[in-house]
Chains A and B, each alone.
Chain A
Amino acid sequence: MLDPQDRIRFEHLVLPHLNSAANLARWILRNRADSDDVVQEATLRAYRFFVNFHGGDARAWLLQIVRNTCYTWLQKNRPSELMTEFDEEVHQRPAANPETIATQTDERQRLMSAVESLSPRFKEVLVLRELEGCSYKEIGEITGIPIGTVMSTLSRARERLRQVLTAAAPATAKEVS
């Protein structure tokens, strides 16, 4: 059972990574309302499991719980999104196809839509690496991807993002290139 001492430790070790938790969930789930709920649930779970945390990388530990909570939530609420990942290279989610993205003039919006259009598995490695600055070892720990395949997953995710961005480039830019 957790006592006030544990709570202080939790606040010192785990809560400073709340931004990382919010960021990861926001990208996996693609919207703020759902991801806030999931982060709340995940931190509560983390708090209850805190007795099982025996030091080490607190950020990776928290993000692992957040990531698993996200996937459980997806399975329950949007199972179709988890199905698409097996044929990622063949199909695209209709939510953000290149045409819709291309009409977005705002560069940042275009980039956001492109990242969001990727499958959860591709998004998570990209977000962890490029926005969170995680090492391959940490990415492996958080996602459960064997460390040997983190590199190739990242490679495929980056290639996919590049394709979406190229296909979605505004018409003028495409003519130039």
Chain B
Amino acid sequence: MNCELVETTIHGYFDGELDAVRSAEFEQHLEHCSRCQAVLEGLESLRTQLQQGDLYAPASPELREKVRRQIAGETNEARIESVSSWKKWFLLPAFGTMAAAAALIAIMLFVIPSHTQSTLTAELIDAHVRSLQPGHLFDVQSTDQHTVKPWFDGKIDFIPPVSDFAAQGFPLVGGRLDVVDGHNVAALVYGRRKHLINVFIWPRRENETIAEGSGSREGYNWVAGQSGDMRIYLVSDAGLSDLRELKALIHP
């Protein structure tokens, strides 16, 4: 049987783009049209194939770094240009000396010690963004801590603290494995209203002191800390106060 709806309307229906009336009309039609039923099944399997085929090609850390540097360079150029347009001759020598001194101090005081922290944060934010792509959020989807916790067993060489905090407004959604800074980490996913929070957990190295901290970057918030022998890192677009609240629940 041939049906002209397979050329158009069925796609709008499949993609959730029809309004309620047209959608209901199509569903009525679907009941009797075997051709549409078959095509719809085909569309579903094609989508599953595409989404589970691991086809998503996110930005590599190198590209991310290049783009960041490029934008930083652009901003500096723009600033120097606007200075040079007027007090160039007057300001430049002084500006140069001061800038060099400031840069040196910044490198000594700030950049070197915080470098690893900042790279780590960037990496974790990337991991968070990556997890939000279709099909990437969890390897085990469950709101039951007794399902999620054993799932990690044998996949990593530590036992992450897994608890559901639905009663406190942070329902556990699932968990997955991720690789950060070269080692395996457990990622627990919690919901917070419409936001998702990734909690990354991995063992602290012996004698490693963890800087507690929090901040914002590229529109995402992060809170870092430790819980016993574990490092924990929360990343989300939810508010910092939410993240701190969840961290306090994980490690009172």
Question: Which one, A77-85, A89-97, A149-157, is touching chain B?
Answer: A149-157
- Collect the chain B residues with CB atoms within 8 Å of residue A22's CB: 57-60, 63
Contact string, A12-29, partner B, CB cutoff 8 A, digits 1/0? 110110110111001100
Residue pair A131, B11 in contact (C-beta under 8 Å): no
Question: Which one, B66-74, B87-95, B97-105, B157-165, is touching chain A?
Answer: B66-74
Residue pair B64, A18 in contact (C-beta under 8 Å): yes
With A112-B53, A151-B8, A155-B11 as known contacts, state yes or no: A21 contacts B59, CB within 8 Å: yes
- Collect the chain A residues with CB atoms within 8 Å of residue B216's CB: 12
- Chain A residues within 8 Å of B, Cβ to Cβ: 1-4, 7, 10-13, 15-16, 18-19, 21-23, 26-27, 32, 36, 39-40, 43-44, 47-48, 107-108, 111-112, 115, 126, 129-131, 133, 135-136, 151-152, 154-155, 158, 161-162, 165
Residue pair B218, A12 in contact (C-beta under 8 Å): yes
With A13-B219, A18-B63 as known contacts, state yes or no: A23 contacts B57, CB within 8 Å: yes
Which of chain A's residues has its CB closest to B47's CB?
Answer: A130
- Collect the chain A residues with CB atoms within 8 Å of residue B71's CB: 7, 10-11, 43-44, 47
Residue pair B11, A151 in contact (C-beta under 8 Å): yes
- Collect the chain A residues with CB atoms within 8 Å of residue B72's CB: 7
With A7-B75, A115-B55 as known contacts, state yes or no: A131 contacts B50, CB within 8 Å: yes
- Collect the chain A residues with CB atoms within 8 Å of residue B78's CB: 1-3
- Collect the chain B residues with CB atoms within 8 Å of residue A136's CB: 12, 15, 17
Partner of A154, one of B15, B49, B58, B75: B15
How distant is the Cα of A177 from the Cα of B249 in the complex, in angstroms?
Answer: 54
Residue pair B7, A152 in contact (C-beta under 8 Å): yes
- Collect the chain B residues with CB atoms within 8 Å of residue A162's CB: 42, 46
A-B contact list, 15 entries, CB within 8 Å: A2-B74, A3-B79, A12-B219, A15-B67, A16-B220, A18-B59, A19-B59, A22-B59, A26-B57, A47-B74, A111-B49, A126-B50, A155-B10, A158-B46, A162-B42
Interchain residue pairs A-B with the least CB separation, the first 9: A22-B59, A19-B58, A12-B219, A26-B57, A18-B59, A130-B50, A111-B53, A155-B11, A23-B57
Residue pair B46, A161 in contact (C-beta under 8 Å): yes
B15 CB to closest chain A CB (Å) equals: 7
Residue pair A19, B129 in contact (C-beta under 8 Å): yes
B22 CB to closest chain A CB (Å) equals: 12
